[in-house]
Amino acid sequence: NAGVMQNPRHLVRRRGQEARLRCSPMKGHSHVYWYRQLPEEGLKFMVYLQKENIIDESGMPKERFSAEFPKEGPSILRIQQVVRGDSAAYFCASSDGTDNEKLFFGSGTQLSVL
Amino acid sequence: GEDVEQSLFLSVREGDSSVINCTYTDSSSTYLYWYKQEPGAGLQLLTYIFSNMDMKQDQRLTVLLNKKDKHLSLRIADTQTGDSAIYFCAESTSGTYKYIFGTGTRLKVLA
């Protein structure tokens, strides 16, 4: 049973470009969570999605960031017009929704903005 | 707001015990977690403890919780080089997915 898969592992973008980060949850999981880890900080909650629905986006920056979890395919975290401050590790987690106390995390995508 | 704090580094000799400490501020925390992150890997849930417990043991791992002082510790007995990793402390309240993480403690085990 594959774990939570994130790709790419490393993503380099120039300022102003778009970044698209993908996450495939564990088999049987339909709940996806995105967290961000800025340098020297702990992981911070960004958004919680179920298939085709955003449940809680209270941790998302108001501009340039969006997330989706379509009926088919992985969840996508999209950052438009990236800036240097977006450089961080972005982690995805999933659960089956019955036990939100146990999230399974992916290995993260390290975004570097030049 | 809620905060979780950990020291950044810990170095121990192989075979010794490691103790990683964590403090948190949210008195309504229900679950407290320890995650391990090895290089290039995801966060692996090591263990968690309910806030109504004060100790949990699982093989080489012992978690101690002092709820009065809001202090959590993870003890690794007979530390091995394979235990070298970053250890994250996290807390949540009942039924929530909004974990509050510490910055992680980088454990280095010297042979």
The residue among A49, A60, A100, A110 with the most chain B CBs within 10 A of its CB, best to mutate, is A100
Q: What is the mean pLDDT of chain B?
A: 90
- B26 pLDDT band (50/70/90 cuts)? confident
Q: How far apart are CA B95 and CA A49, in angstroms?
A: 16
Could you read off the pLDDT of B34-79 as tens digits, one per residue? 999 888 777 888 999 988 889 999 999 999 999 999 999 999 999 9
- B108 pLDDT band (50/70/90 cuts)? very high
SS3 annotation, A69-81: CCCCCCEEEEECC
Q: What is the DSSP secondary-structure string of B10-59?
A: EEEETTS-EEEEEEE--TT--EEEEEEE-TT--EEEEEEEETT-SEEEET
Question: Is pLDDT above 70 for A112?
Answer: yes
Question: Is pLDDT above 70 for A99?
Answer: no
Q: Output the pLDDT for position B95.
A: 66
Q: Do A4 and B35 touch (CB under 8 A)?
A: no
The C-alpha torsion from B87 through B45 and A32 to B24, rounded to 10°, is: -50
Q: Output the pLDDT for position A102.
A: 75
Q: Output the pLDDT for position B52.
A: 87
What are the two backbone dihedrals, phi and then psi, of residue A75, each rounded to the nearest 5 degrees? -80, 145
Q: Which of B94, B79, B90 is CA-nearest to residue B10?
A: B79
Smallest Cβ distance to B104: which of A42, A91, A100?
A42
Output the CA torsion sign for B45, B51, B56, B60.
Answer: positive
Reduced to 3 states, what is the DSSP secondary structure of residue B82?
A: helix
| Distance from chain centroid for Cα B108 | 15
Q: Do B98 and A59 touch (CB under 8 A)?
A: yes
Q: Which residues of B touch A43 (CB under 8 A)?
A: 43, 88, 90, 99, 101
Give one word for B83, left, alpha or beta, with left for phi > 0 and alpha for psi -120 to 50.
alpha
